[in-house]
């Protein structure tokens, strides 16, 4: 290694001192910066081993050029004074071709990042620190990933082998026992489950009851009115066409129409008191079968007794409790109009009290045979615990040929 003086103490082109810096064979500065060490080539060395300077430098100093020789012999550099000595690293020789002075980097980037192979050390002890390398991710199948997760202190949940365990209160992953206890704590107790089931049953029962009430109070009336209206039209059509002959009628067959002007009721009368065939269809049923058989309106003596719903299914007798003595009820048949005047009422009696249906009704105040009317319905409203009875007596019989009675004329 050659020692040189600081650059500010001499000019390498004008100072002929033997301690001048050595130049390259092409006369250019050291690319590494400043005037560095000479670039040695094979032809720069004389046979006696002395270094040579480039001929161009010799010409610059005014020396004579040696013909046929590319280099001039120079004396070996004397050691420089002992001040501000420094050594410059050796660099690779400049290529044979190219510019004599390499262009400097216009925008040098300072090296701020440490070298990749640098090893950190402790400033206090100057000891090398141990770098903890992260564990390599597990490779392979699901079983190997499970084993790796178990080795780290947690187990991956089912369905996701790589999912981390849920952290506990301390921030660390839960163990198996802690995870089981947490899952058990999240489960509802039997009392909570039972109360939830009971609540759902009550809600379902309430909805069903609401639907049932809506059906009974609203839909059955609509449906019964439609069926009763259709039956009344059929009866009048049979009368006009002569299809219906006087006499006995089959159960469920309509044969008359009842008018209650005060209550604005017009309802067909059918044979029998069957709930499904007669009463639930919005009609009034005639007690005309078995031991409860009663007279027809055209009979010269007897009790014409009928039954009807007070609530739901058309409820034709809902307001018969409003009838007063003297109010009229007209029964229209194929032959005539029969008018009855209300005479009395029994607000409540047992359903087994069939004496009210006798030819001379018990409790009606009638004492001798006659042509009577008996209306029966359930009471109180929306129940069938008891029966309400309303009686009447025939006051007029008008053949159809004489026209409509005055009570129906309006």
Q: Is 378 a catalytic residue?
A: yes
The closest of 285, 290, 264, 265 to 274, measured between CA atoms, is 285
DSSP 105: P
Q: CB burial class (10 A; 0-12, 13-18, 19+) of residue 385?
A: exposed
Contact (Cβ atoms closer than 8 angstroms) between residue 317 and residue 379: no
- Distance between CA atoms of residues 340 and 407, nearest Å: 11
- Distance between CA atoms of residues 263 and 318, nearest Å: 9
Among residues 5, 21, 23, 309, the one annotated as catalytic is 309
For residue 376, give the H/E element and its range: strand 371-379
Q: Is 286 a catalytic residue?
A: no
Q: Is 41 a catalytic residue?
A: no
Contact (Cβ atoms closer than 8 angstroms) between residue 232 and residue 268: yes
- Distance between CA atoms of residues 331 and 340, nearest Å: 8
405: number of Cβ within 10 Å: 19
Q: Determine if residue 101 is left, alpha or beta; phi over 0 gives left, psi from -120 to 50 gives alpha, anything else beta.
A: beta
Spacing of C-alpha 374 from chain mean position: 62
Contact (Cβ atoms closer than 8 angstroms) between residue 278 and residue 298: no
User: CA-CA distances (angstroms) from residue 73 to 4, 15, 27, 68, 393?
Assistant: 19, 16, 15, 13, 166
Sequence-ordered alpha helix ranges (H) in 140-219: 142-151, 176-186, 190-214
Cis omega before residue 380 (within 30°)? yes
Among residues 154, 174, 259, 378, the one annotated as catalytic is 378
Residues annotated as catalytic (active site), given as ranges: 309, 378, 387
């Amino acid at each position: 290694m050659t020692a040189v003086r600081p650059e500010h103490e001499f000019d390498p082109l004008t100072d002929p001192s033997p301690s001048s810096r050595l130049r390259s064979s092409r006369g250019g500065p050291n690319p590494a910066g400043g005037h560095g060490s000479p670039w040695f080539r094979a032809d720069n060395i004389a046979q006696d081993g002395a270094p040579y300077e480039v001929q161009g430098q010799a010409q610059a100093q005014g020396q004579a050029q040696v013909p046929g020789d590319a280099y001039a012999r120079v004396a070996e550099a004397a050691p420089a004074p002992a001040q501000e000595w420094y050594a410059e690293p050796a660099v690779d020789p400049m290529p044979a071709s190219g510019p004599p002075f390499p262009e400097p980097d216009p925008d040098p980037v300072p090296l701020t990042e440490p070298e990749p192979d640098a090893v950190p050390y402790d400033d206090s002890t100057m000891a090398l620190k141990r770098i903890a390398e992260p564990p390599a991710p597990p490779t392979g199948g699901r079983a190997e990933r499970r084993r790796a997760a178990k080795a780290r202190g947690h187990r991956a949940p089912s369905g996701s082998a790589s999912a981390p365990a849920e952290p506990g209160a301390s921030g660390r992953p839960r163990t198996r026992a802690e995870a089981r206890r947490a899952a058990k704590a999240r489960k509802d107790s039997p009392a909570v489950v039972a109360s939830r089931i009971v609540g759902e049953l009550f809600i379902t029962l309430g909805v069903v009851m609401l639907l049932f009430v809506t059906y009974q109070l609203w839909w059955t009336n609509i449906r019964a009115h439609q069926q009763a209206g259709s039956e009344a039209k059929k009866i009048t059509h049979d009368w006009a066409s002569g299809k219906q002959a006087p006499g006995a009628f089959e159960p469920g067959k309509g044969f008359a129409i009842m008018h209650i002007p005060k209550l604005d009721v017009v309802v067909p009368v059918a044979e029998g008191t069957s709930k499904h065939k007669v009463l639930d269809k919005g009609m009034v049923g005639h007690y005309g079968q078995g031991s409860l058989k009663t007279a027809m309106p055209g009979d010269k003596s007897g009790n014409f007794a009928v039954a009807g719903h007070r609530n739901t299914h058309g409820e034709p007798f809902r307001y018969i409790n409003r009838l007063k003595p003297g109010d009229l009820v007209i029964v229209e048949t194929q032959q005539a109009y029969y008018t009855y005047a209300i005479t009395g009422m029994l607000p409540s009696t047992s359903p087994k009290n069939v004496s009210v249906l006798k030819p001379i009704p018990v409790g009606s105040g009638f004492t001798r045979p006659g042509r009577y009317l008996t209306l029966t319905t359930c009471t109180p409203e929306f129940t069938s615990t008891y029966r309400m009875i309303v009686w009447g007596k025939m006051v007029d019989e008008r053949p159809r040929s004489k026209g409509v009675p005055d009570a129906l004329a309006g």
